[in-house]
Amino acid sequence: MNKPAQIKFGTDGWRAIIAEDYTLENLRRVCMGTVLWMKKNELKSALIGHDCRFGGRLFLEESARVFASHGIKVFVADGFVSTPMISLGVVQHKVDLGIVITASHNPPSYNGYKLKSSYGGPTSPAQIEEVEALIPDEYAPHLERYEQYLSQGQIAVIPLQNSYVTHIRNRFDLDEIHKKTAVAYDAMYGAGQEVMKELFPNLRAFHCEWNPGFMDIPPEPIPKNLVEISRFLKSNPGKYLGIANDGDADRVAMLDDEGNLIDSHHILLLLLYYLAGIKKMKGDVVVSFSVTNKVKKLADYFDLKTTITKIGFKYIAEHMIDGDVLVAGEESGGLAIKGHIPERDGIWIALTVLEFVALSGKPITQLIREIYDIVGPFAYDRLDLKLWPDQMKNVKHILNSGPIVQWGSYTTRSFEQLDGYKYYFDHDNWLMFRASGTEPVLRIYAQGRDADEVIQLLDTARKILNI
């Protein structure tokens, strides 16, 4: 008899390939581990939602059946939803735990399972470990049909999109944003599509329909996946601002009016410049290890404290729950700000930047130049390399053999190893290396003074690591 698959949560939930490890059998095991943890902690209700991935509704209903069979009151979202909609729903409906059936930005062959706590953000790393420890090796329950639990009232359906849109309308002056800015939006076939179409009736929409295959493009908002919207913006210069969300709409990227990507580093700087510099708000800045050091420079300029965390928004959320955090975020586009839930929310963040642009009356490129006047200009890029096991082993051996003093013409000035390997050089240049927590991928991050220097840094890194 084959040993059951070990189920481990990565940087943001459990993710696996559908029909390989992401099966109904394994999903029931994860749900049962969650139930046991809820019982241990006297939690009595759960809110479950799914995004646009293949099998989302099937996996939601199966999860709901497991929870309901153990006396947990289950609320399920009406239709597909974004991860932030579940997190907000947990708070608004006073539910003990949120579950999102999503694999976020992973390729279409994956699905996943995220946990959200009652405060409306990621469940803490320590609690996730407790859930993992309770996942049984085998679990073959007798469950009633989903409709039976529904008719008995053990499962109830709630419309989360309406309350989420109302929450946005109560916070943002959408009429002012509409007057000043035309929006092009790429949903990447993800869960943000219906909300954005409702908020922006004149939206220039890309990939805003249901397609669980994502046209074989992982729903991650990075340049190689945003060719169509970028091409549109380049052919209509000066007319639109571009927004893109990942599969469950908790991450964001933006594009300027000429189709150039505005990465998460620059969005973090825009948020900090707006909230601290223009609105004069106070609070700490919390960012993950792979974020540009320019954020700390800008925080220092506004006399704000900066904290660096390991990769994974769950580490950032701990600071947001316990402290006064103004701006927080990750290199991968998961960003959060004060005055909302302690959660990444790609739509909320995009609206905040749109509000800044509308109220300032300045193009977003001009606002970025104003930030450069404070922290200096920079460019950034990342390589995601799918390596063979032998290649990954060799790379890890090189990186684990001690700090490398010379990277081609770049001399190491300092080295950090909080979560990955980060090398700093002169002129605020740096390289960072980290293996993905959810895919067999090595990520190489680079910051230089301009795009050409970033290319040079990435090429140097590949030569040194022989990949």
Domains contained in the chain, CATH given = 14-160 (3.40.120.10), 172-375 (3.40.120.10), 379-465 (3.30.310.50)
Element (H, E) at 114: strand 110-117
Is residue 33's pLDDT more than 60?
yes
Is residue 203's pLDDT more than 70?
yes
The C-alpha atoms of residue 61 and residue 50 are separated, in whole angstroms, by 10
* Residue 166 token pair: 């109302």
Which residue has better confidence, 440 or 225?
225
Give the model's confidence band at 2: pLDDT under 50 very low, under 70 low, under 90 confident, else very high: low
Give the whole-number percent of the chain exceeding pLDDT 90: 95
Is residue 201's pLDDT more than 80?
yes
Is residue 136's pLDDT more than 80?
yes
Residue in the block written with tokens 């601290």? 276
**pLDDT reported for residue 438:** 64
**pLDDT reported for residue 424:** 98
- Residue by residue, DSSP assigns 373-388 as HHH---EEEEEEEE--
The C-alpha atoms of residue 290 and residue 308 are separated, in whole angstroms, by 9
Is residue 10's pLDDT more than 90?
no
Residue range 324-343: average pLDDT? 96
**pLDDT reported for residue 436:** 81
Residue in the block written with tokens 């293949």? 54
Dump pLDDT digits (tens) for 274-294.
Answer: 999 999 999 999 999 999 999
38 contacts: CB under 8 Å, gap ≥ 6: 44, 46, 72, 96, 97
**pLDDT reported for residue 429:** 97
Strand order of the sheet with strand 97-101? Answer: 14-17, 110-117, 97-101, 45-50, 73-77, 155-158
Give the model's confidence band at 461: pLDDT under 50 very low, under 70 low, under 90 confident, else very high: very high
Lowest-pLDDT range of 54-63, 351-360, 380-389: 380-389
**pLDDT reported for residue 13:** 92
Average pLDDT over the chain reads: 95
DSSP state of 188: T
**pLDDT reported for residue 437:** 67
The C-alpha atoms of residue 317 and residue 329 are separated, in whole angstroms, by 9
Handedness of CA 322, 323, 328, 330 (dihedral sign): negative
Give the model's confidence band at 12: pLDDT under 50 very low, under 70 low, under 90 confident, else very high: confident
Residue range 186-198: average pLDDT? 98
- Are 229 and 380 in contact by the 8 Å Cβ rule? The answer is no
Rounded to the nearest angstrom, the gap between the alpha carbon of residue 111 and the centroid of all alpha carbons in its chain is 15
Element (H, E) at 431: strand 430-435
Tell me whether residue 40 is exposed, middle or buried, using C-beta atoms within 10 angstroms of its C-beta: 0 to 12, 13 to 18, 19 or more.
Answer: exposed
Is residue 258's pLDDT more than 60?
yes
**pLDDT reported for residue 288:** 97
The C-alpha atoms of residue 452 and residue 279 are separated, in whole angstroms, by 35
Question: pTM, whole model, 2 decimals?
Answer: 0.94
**pLDDT reported for residue 5:** 75
Please give the C-alpha separations between residue 68 and each of 96, 137, 146, in angstroms, as whole numbers: 14, 21, 9
Residue range 451-460: average pLDDT? 97
- Are 100 and 249 in contact by the 8 Å Cβ rule? The answer is no
